[in-house]
Amino acid sequence: MRNACPVVHEIVCFFIAKRSTRGIKVAKKPKTVLKKPKVIGKKPNAAERAKPQVKKRVTLLVVSECPPLGLESLKVKDTQLRASSYKRRGLGPHRGRLNIQSGIEDGDIYDGAWCAQYRDKKQWLEVDARRLTRFTGVILQGRNSIWRSVWDIVYTYKVQFSNDTLVWKPCMNGTEEAIFEGNQDAETPVLALFNTSTVARYIRINPQSWYQNGTKGDICLRAEVLGCALPDPNSIYPWQTEPTESKDKLDFRHHNYKEMRKLMKSVQEECPDITRIYSIGKSYMGLKLYVMEISDNPGKHELGEPEFRYVAGMHGNEVLGRELLLNLMQYICQEYKRGDQRIVHLVKETRIHLLPSMNPDGYEMAFKKGSELAGWSLGRYSYEGIDMNHNFADLNSVMWTAIELETDRSKLINHYFPIPEQYTTEEAFVASETRAVISWMQNIPFVLGANLHGGELVVTYPYDMTRDWAPREHTPTADESFFRWLAVVYASTNQVMSNHDRRPCHNKDFLRYNNIINGADWHNVPGSMNDFSYLHTNCFEVTVELSCDKFPHASELPIEWENNRESLLTYMEQVHRGIKGVVRDKDTGAGISDAVIKVDDINHHIRSVADGDYWRLLNPGEYRVTATAEGYFPSSRTCQVMYDHYPTTCDFRLTKMPKERLKELLMKGGKLPKDLQLRLRQLRMRKLRVTTKAINQRRAAAAKRAKRV
C-alpha cells in the first residue's frame, strides 16, 4: 500500500506531498531528526520536565505518512474514547471527533464537541488505539454549534502517551515538553506533527489554554489522531484482523482533475467496444464535466434499452462518490472482459452514464487541502458560491400553486412541468454546471439515477421540499412505494448501513428509519435535483449519503468500495423493474413520441421518447395502463409486473383519429381507404343529426313564444 508504515526501528519520516497543503498549520521541525520512535516505558526525567515552549505555526509542504486512526470515520469506536470529565452526555468524549456536527436543538444528546466539565489544565481527551501504534500527529477543531458562540476553542495543548494508562510520557520537543498551537476559530482544522513519532497504545490531548471571557468559554475540542498501527504477530483480537484492502485490483487513491481524466481515458482504451467518454459542458473555471458511457453500443440509444445515470461530486468536498464511480467504471470494464455474466448482462441491456464530478472546481479546492484538513464546507459550493443541491428549478411550488388555484382538476398536469421563464434567463443565478446537467437530462431519456453525496449514512427519496416551507415534513410523491423500494435496495445491500451495531454519524439516528428517509422529512431542500428530475423528466432519482466522513483518507477507499460495490450494482439493476414497451401507430408501425403513459391510481405519468419506447418503474402487481397521444384514440390494457429481474413488456398500437388520418392522406395525395370513408360518413351523419336536433329545438321554442304573444 502507498501509505504503509515502516518498521518500528526506523526513524520518523515525513514526505513532500504531491498536492499542496497550503495554509496547514504544523509544528516546526527540528534541524535534526535522527531519532528512533520513542517507546513508552518510564517516567520523564528532570530534563524532560523543563520549561515548555509553544511550537510556532509555520507553513510546510509536509503531511504525516501515517493515516488517521478514524475518529471522524467512526473506525474508532465510542468505547475507545475517554475524558477527564465532560459537561453532559451530549458533550461527552464520544463527540470529540473531527468535523462532527451538532444537532438542531441546543442541549440535546448530539452536541458538536467534547467539552470538559472543569476549566483547568488537568482536563484531557484520551484515545485508545487498542494496539501499539506509532503516533505522528494530531488535528484539532473547536466546538460546532448552531446556537452557541463559536469561541469554545482550545488555543494550546500538550500530548501524552501511555501503554497502560498509569504511566504517561509527554510529547517532547528536544529536551522540552512540547506545547502545540490549537485553533483560532471553531471550524478550521489545525494539524500538528510531532518532531519524533512515539510508539504507544494510548494518547491524550491535554488543553493548556482556551478562550475565556468571564464565565464564557469552555474547554471544547474535536480531534483526529494520526498513527500507524504496528504489526501484531498474535492478532488475537477481531479488530486486528479487520480487512483493510479489496480483492479487486482498482486504482484506490484520490484523483484530481487531470488524474481523473487520465484514468477515464485508460478505461476507455482498455474497453473501447463498450465505453465512450463525452463532455456535457464546463464548470465556471472551464473544467469539462466528463461522463463515462458504458453500453454494448456506446453513443446510441437502442430501442427498448433503458438509460441509467450516477452523478457524484455535486458538492466538491464530498469526494467518496467520485472515487466510487471511477472504481465502478474500472470494475465493469475488467469484469466484462473476464466474462462475468452479471456484468455482461448489465452492459448489454442497459445504457449506463457515470458523471464522477459535477463540481470539479469545488473538488480542486478541497483536494489541495487534503482529506483531513478541508474542514466541513471547503469545496462544497461552486466557484461562484452556489450550492447546486438548491440550484435546480423549483417545480414543486409551480405544481402546488396550480393545485391550489385550479378548480378544474382535469386541466392539472402531474409530469413534465415546464421550467419557469425567469429561471432560463442569462441573469438567473444558476451555476453553469447546473445548466449543463439540466441540458443533459433533457437530451437523454434517463429512467433511473442516483445522486451520490457524503457526510451521512442514509438514502433519501423525493420529495426533498416541504409543501408549506416547513423545516421538515414528510412529503411523499405519487410513487412513494417505489421510491421507498429503491432506497431500501441501496441501504440494505450497503455493508455499513445494514450494520445495526453502528453508531449515528452526527446528530440523527437513521437506523431508526432503516437508513432511508423521505428527503423533506429530514430537512427542507427546495430546488433539489431529485425533485426536478421527477417533475420535469421521466427519471426517478434518489440521494445516497455514502459515509460519515465527507473526505475519507485514501487508505479507507478500498473498504469503502467493498461497502458499496454490491449496492451500486444492485441499484442499477432496478432500472429493469416495472413495465416497458413501444407505442406505435397501428397503420404504419412507426413509433409515436411524446405519448403519455398513465397508470390507474398513480397520479404521475411518463412519456414515450423519440422512437416511441417507454419505461415505467413499478413494484410487482397488476396495473391498468393507458397510452394516449395527440391525434390518436387512447388505448388501455392490463399489465402484470412480476418479481422477476426483468420488466414486463406492454406495447401499445394507437389508432389515429379520422381527422388526423384524412389530413395525412390528403397531404400525400392518396385515396381514402374504405374504413376511413365509412368512418367519415358516420361522423357526418352524427353531426347532421346533432345540428338537425338543435334546429328543431330552436324552432319549437320560437313557436311557443309566438303562441304566447
Active site residues: 545
8 Å CB contact between 106 and 148: yes
Extract the C-alpha cell encoding 465.
421540499
What strands lie across the sheet with 446-453, from one edge to the other? 275-282, 288-294, 351-355, 307-312, 446-453, 540-545, 458-461, 516-518
- Residue 58 near residue 189, CB atoms below 8 Å: no
CA 1 to chain CA mean position, Å: 27
Report the C-alpha gap between 467 and 474 in whole angstroms.
9
Q: Give the whole-angstrom CA distance, residue 436 versus residue 440.
A: 6
d(CA 199, CA 385): 44
Residues with Cβ within 8 Å of 489's Cβ and at least 6 positions away in sequence, in order, are: 567, 570, 571, 574
Q: Of 108, 72, 137, 31, which is closest to residue 455 (Cα–Cα)?
A: 72
Q: How far is CA 283 from the centre of its chain?
A: 19
CA dihedral 264, 269, 270, 276 (to 10 degrees): 60
Give strand ranges (E) for 44-147: 50-54, 57-58, 62-64, 81-83, 114-115, 125-141
List, in sequence order, every residue forming a beta bridge with 308; answer none if it has no partner: 352, 448
Pairing of strands 648-649, 57-58: unpaired
Q: Determine contact, residues 506/100, Cβ cutoff 8 Å.
A: yes
- Return all residues near 383 (Cβ < 8 A) that are at least 6 apart: 283, 284, 285, 361, 362
DSSP 574: G
Residue length of the chain: 709
**What sign has the CA pseudo-torsion 357, 358, 363, 364?**
positive
Following DSSP, what letter does each residue of 29-74 receive, concatenated? Answer: PPS----PPEE--S---TGGGEEEEEPPEE--SEEESSPB-STTTT
Helix boundaries (H) for 281-355:
320-338, 341-349
d(CA 2, CA 214): 49
**Non-local CB neighbours of 659 within 8 Å, separated by 6+ positions:** 631
**Apex 228 CA angle, 222 and 230, nearest 5:** 135
Residue closest to 501 by CA, chosen among 246, 110, 130, 239: 239
- Measured CA to CA, the distance from residue 566 to residue 490 in angstroms comes to 8
Q: What is the dihedral of CA 436, 437, 443, 447, to 10 degrees?
A: 180
Q: Which of 593, 605, 581 is nearest to 416 (CA)?
A: 605
- C-alpha separations of 369 from 317, 373, 375 in Å: 10, 6, 9
Helix (H, G, I), strand (E, B) or coil at 615: strand
In this structure, are residues 222 and 96 in contact, taking their beta carbons and an 8 Å threshold? Answer: yes
